[in-house]
Amino acid sequence: MADTQRSPSPLPDQDLHDQRRWRHGRERDVGFAIGRYLQPPPLFFTRDGHNLFLGDLYRGQAAFLVCGGPSLATHDLSLLQQRGLLTLAVNNAATIVRPQLWTSVDNPGHFADVIWRDPGIWKFIPLDHMEKPFRVRDTHDQLVPSAEKVGDMPAVVGFRRNEYFRAEQWLHESTFNWGNHSHRIDADGNKGSRSVFYIALRLLYVLGVRTVYLLGCDFRMEPGQQNYAFEQDRSLASIRSNNSSYRILNTRLGHLKPYFDAEGFQIFNCTPQSGLTVFPTLKYEEAIHQAQVTIPQRINTRGMYDSQATPTTPQAVPTSRCSPPTSAEPRSAPPILPNAQSWTSSETPLTLLVYAEAKQWNRFQKLWQTCTQRWKWFSQLPAIICHNLGPAVSPQERLCERPGETRWINVPGEGTESHHIPSEAFSYAVQHTASPWLLCLTAAAEVRSEEQGAGLDFSWFHRRPGSRYAY
């Protein structure tokens, strides 16, 4: 009789267990390897638990990962707002740079409401935070809980975390690892240590990004110093804790790097004097140029809505490295190139396409100086300078300044024969210049003075798609 009068439980334990099992699959703090031949489990969720598939959304693209270190303020961050650049910011770094993507793992109240309310930012957060408030300023400028929940905000995506770091499966786990639980000690003797930095890198990998440029990753804090790019104080205990996390991150990222390399997941550190030592360094401006390789610098919409326009068949960009013209190709100079003096005129536009190969760098420098000294027009031409010198050498500092517009682009690889131009350089030139002619210069070129009556060898010219002449 007593059993029949007992009030039913408003939320049976069985339902709670089902919900937990549905959300976590296995233990909350442990992920499991997905495997190469299995359909991957869902990684992203809406507020109501519906699956979102965002895998490879940015397939093969580059992205800037913006952290909040004080060095962030030393960069010209307006460059990040250019076309073609993808940015992911963590925590309150998004108050300094407005990114397209953002992520956090701490309590939502730690982050500015301007981030939560911005519909132009995709916000990736732990699923557990969907029903929590963030914080806003009241009329007395005090922080108080918001009336809205995080899940009420636009473009919010949830993910599930795990707290068991294992480098061998980190890139392909069913959940997002963000370090170790405080009760775990890893193989290196490090206890605990979690960070949003893990989440940011894994998130970019899942979204298909394969080149990451790090900004604001100072990875060090000092008492009495400004330790963020934004206004924020830290206690001595917090500084010690963060420095310990940076040390452990260096160790664990070192374990991850071989797996990153095997997957073609490249990371470059653009942070000056960074405490993060695992990844190669690269200048911020060079990273900007590299990330914009495929973005046209000239926009021309003329004729795009004209369905009656005469179709043209574009000439394919060379897929192999260029070589001297064959006997079947005409070799005489066409009338459009009467002399060197007219090459920079508006009637016969010309762009200098240069390849500085690492093995021929010293020879190339001498060639460059010779051309600059002998021909004034050489320095005035717009130039695209491709190189494979890597981040250790800054070609901008080693070559004399040019009054003409110059763009630098790194073409990775072991290099090629000195008389060849890589196809990647041609692809870049075709997309980033409107000039119908390209003057190709490599370290193997033989420069003869104009006093000898020879000038430049016409065999250096190659037709750009749309040009009237080729030889």
- Tens of pLDDT, residue by residue over 251-273, are 999 999 999 999 999 999 999 99
Other CB atoms within 10 A of residue 299 CB: 6
Contact 354, 438 (CB under 8 A): no
Range with lowest mean pLDDT among 83-87, 318-322, 352-356: 318-322
E-strand ranges in 138-227 read: 143-149, 156-159, 161-162, 176-177, 211-215
Between these two residues, 367 and 271, which has the higher pLDDT value?
A: 271
Other CB atoms within 10 A of residue 340 CB: 14
pLDDT given for residue 317 in this prediction = 39
Between these two residues, 109 and 19, which has the higher pLDDT value?
A: 109
pLDDT given for residue 321 in this prediction = 33
Contact 157, 46 (CB under 8 A): yes
pLDDT given for residue 452 in this prediction = 40
Contact 82, 292 (CB under 8 A): yes
38 confidence band (pLDDT: 50, 70, 90): low
E-strand ranges in 358-447 read: 383-387, 406-410, 437-441
pLDDT given for residue 453 in this prediction = 36
Residue 244 has pLDDT above 90, yes or no: no
Between these two residues, 16 and 293, which has the higher pLDDT value?
A: 293
Residue 239 has pLDDT above 90, yes or no: no
Dist. CA 128–CA 256, nearest whole Å: 27
Other CB atoms within 10 A of residue 456 CB: 19
Dist. CA 171–CA 209, nearest whole Å: 13
Contact 196, 103 (CB under 8 A): yes
Residue 276 has pLDDT above 90, yes or no: yes
Report pTM.
0.63
Between these two residues, 241 and 373, which has the higher pLDDT value?
A: 241
Range with top average pLDDT, 127-141, 301-315, 402-416: 127-141
pLDDT given for residue 59 in this prediction = 92
Interval 101-145: pLDDT, tens = 999 999 999 999 999 999 999 999 999 999 999 999 999 999 999
Length of the chain equals 471
**Of all residues in the chain, what percent carry a pLDDT higher than 70?**
68
Two structure tokens written together for 77:
């961050």
Residue 23 has pLDDT above 70, yes or no: no
Q: Which of 160, 166, 172 shows the shortest CA–CA distance to 37?
A: 172
Average of pLDDT values for 72-97?
A: 94
Two structure tokens written together for 50:
């519906």
pLDDT given for residue 258 in this prediction = 95
Between these two residues, 331 and 60, which has the higher pLDDT value?
A: 60
Residue 334 has pLDDT above 60, yes or no: no
Dist. CA 126–CA 103, nearest whole Å: 9
Dist. CA 334–CA 37, nearest whole Å: 58
pLDDT given for residue 356 in this prediction = 75
pLDDT given for residue 75 in this prediction = 92
- Residues 6 or more apart whose Cβ sits within 8 Å of residue 429: 351, 353, 384, 438, 464
Dist. CA 330–CA 309, nearest whole Å: 31
pLDDT given for residue 458 in this prediction = 42
Judged by DSSP in three states, 101 sits in strand
Residue 455 has pLDDT above 80, yes or no: no
Other CB atoms within 10 A of residue 143 CB: 13
Interval 173-226: pLDDT, tens = 989 999 999 889 888 889 889 999 999 999 999 999 999 999 999 998 888 888
227 confidence band (pLDDT: 50, 70, 90): confident
Q: What is the DSSP letter of 62?
A: E
Dist. CA 141–CA 137, nearest whole Å: 5
pLDDT given for residue 398 in this prediction = 52
**Of all residues in the chain, what percent carry a pLDDT higher than 90?**
42
Q: Which of 289, 260, 235, 231 shows the shortest CA–CA distance to 410?
A: 289
Dist. CA 88–CA 70, nearest whole Å: 17
Residue 295 has pLDDT above 90, yes or no: no
- The rounded radius of gyration (Å) of the Cα atoms in the chain is 28
Q: Which of 317, 273, 252 shows the shortest CA–CA distance to 465?
A: 317
CA–CA distances in Å: residue 139 to residues 7, 136, 142, 420: 46, 10, 7, 67
Q: Which of 253, 129, 149 shows the shortest CA–CA distance to 201?
A: 253
348 confidence band (pLDDT: 50, 70, 90): very low
SS3 content of the chain, % helix, strand, coil (to 5): 30, 15, 50
- Residue given tokens 């409401």 in the structure block: 113
pLDDT given for residue 107 in this prediction = 95
Dist. CA 407–CA 353, nearest whole Å: 10
Range with top average pLDDT, 157-171, 177-191, 418-432: 157-171
Dist. CA 40–CA 33, nearest whole Å: 10
Between these two residues, 39 and 167, which has the higher pLDDT value?
A: 167
Average pLDDT for the chain: 77
Between these two residues, 355 and 109, which has the higher pLDDT value?
A: 109
pLDDT given for residue 121 in this prediction = 98
